[in-house]
Amino acid sequence: MKKSEFTFIGDIATMFATLPHHGFEPIGDDCTVLDMGSESLVITTDMVVEDIHFLRNISSPEEVAHKSLMVNLSDVAAMGARPIATLLSLSLPESAQGEWSEAFMRRYHAESLKVGVALVGGDTTASRDRITINVVAIGRAPKECIKRRSAAKPGDVVCVTGKLGASSKGLVDNMFGDLGTEAARIHRLAQARIAEGVWLGSRSEVRAMMDVSDGIASDIRHIMEQSGVGAEIELSSIPTDYDIRFATTGGEDYELLLSVEATSFEQLANEFEEATGTTLTAIGKIIEGSELRWLENGLPATLDLKGFTHF
């Protein structure tokens, strides 16, 4: 009877598709979008669960706060919107109701301050023995700046911001107690690409966009399915300092995966790097059909690459 997360979400989306939508777009992007006239609101939510997403004896409350906030801000940035506020629900066992929760809140506050997002609501409750955190992030953007997974077209350049793989390599380092590595530090402190998302949102040459949450091998399929296209990815082009498996199937890098109108790509990438200090690297192209082709130096690659599944 056990179902994968994606099947369950698919079933839910189908079940609720016939309900009145009140101006909200159907489920399928990093955020839901509510059309408010010339502006749109985007809203997303993510749950972070002790012993599933973090271990209390390995991750500090500060790191858990950081991660809980960043996964949500990253989803907002992936829509081309500016995050403006969050709501925070905390379920805390007695062992986390004092120092743990205070350290968590101090870091949540510091990161909120850094990116200028308000805390506008939430809930606190007890739990029997494990911590559960739910964050909702709300963003805002001019209507025409909102980017969706469904907008990729054959011929588009597929590209990513920054470098991939550090976060999942760092997760492994953390698990083995190698807390001092560069990857471990990135895993604990990676920042959502907020300024980058807003900048890319403002450019019409950018078509589909999403954040890298489960690894590009899994995430590119969402763009393919929603846009009704295929894709060709060149492994040797993927920007990474680590094993290609971390770079393709590891999540939580908070990088953005996007498709750009091909003739504009080079100019856009230069302007983007100048404006944000972040690189934009071409890793493949959108093709007709529904196939995902992996290439290595132009030849078909044989790696079986699957993204991370939560269940």
Judge whether 47 and 132 are in contact, CB under 8 Å.
yes
CB 101 → a copy of itself: shortest distance, Å? 7
> Cβ 130 to a copy of itself, closest distance in Å?
6
Of 114 and 306, CB closest to a copy of itself: 114
The distance of Cα 68 from the centroid of its chain, to the nearest Å, equals: 12
Q: Considering the complex, state which of residue 122 and residue 228 has its C-beta at the smaller distance from a copy of itself.
A: 122
Give 152's contacts (C-beta < 8 A, 6+ positions apart). Answer: 207, 208, 223, 224, 227, 229, 259, 286
Neighbours of 26 (CB within 10 A): 11
Distances in Å between the Cα of 12 and the Cα atoms of 7, 9, 180 are 9, 5, 42
Q: Which residues bind a copy of itself (CB under 8 A)?
A: 1-3, 5, 8-9, 11-12, 15-16, 19-25, 27, 31-32, 34, 36-37, 41, 43-47, 49-53, 84-85, 87, 89-91, 94, 97-99, 101, 105, 109, 112-113, 116-128, 130, 132, 134, 136, 138, 140, 310-311
Q: Which is nearer to a copy of itself, 60 or 132 (CB)?
A: 132
CB 19, min distance to a copy of itself, A: 5
Helices and strands (H, E) in the chain, number of each type: 9, 12
User: Is 1 or 299 the residue whose CB approaches a copy of itself more closely?
Assistant: 1
What are the CA-CA distances from residue 225 to residues 22, 29, 165, 284 (Å)? 25, 12, 24, 17
Question: Nearest distance from residue 282's CB to a copy of itself, in Å?
Answer: 31
Q: How far is the CB of 137 from a copy of itself (least distance, A)?
A: 11
Residue 49 or residue 292: which is nearer to a copy of itself going by CB?
49
Decide whether 126 or 179 has the Cβ nearer to a copy of itself: 126
- In the block, tokens 């992007």 appear at 29
Contact call for residues 242 and 183 (beta carbons, < 8 A): yes
CB 32 to a copy of itself: min, Å? 4
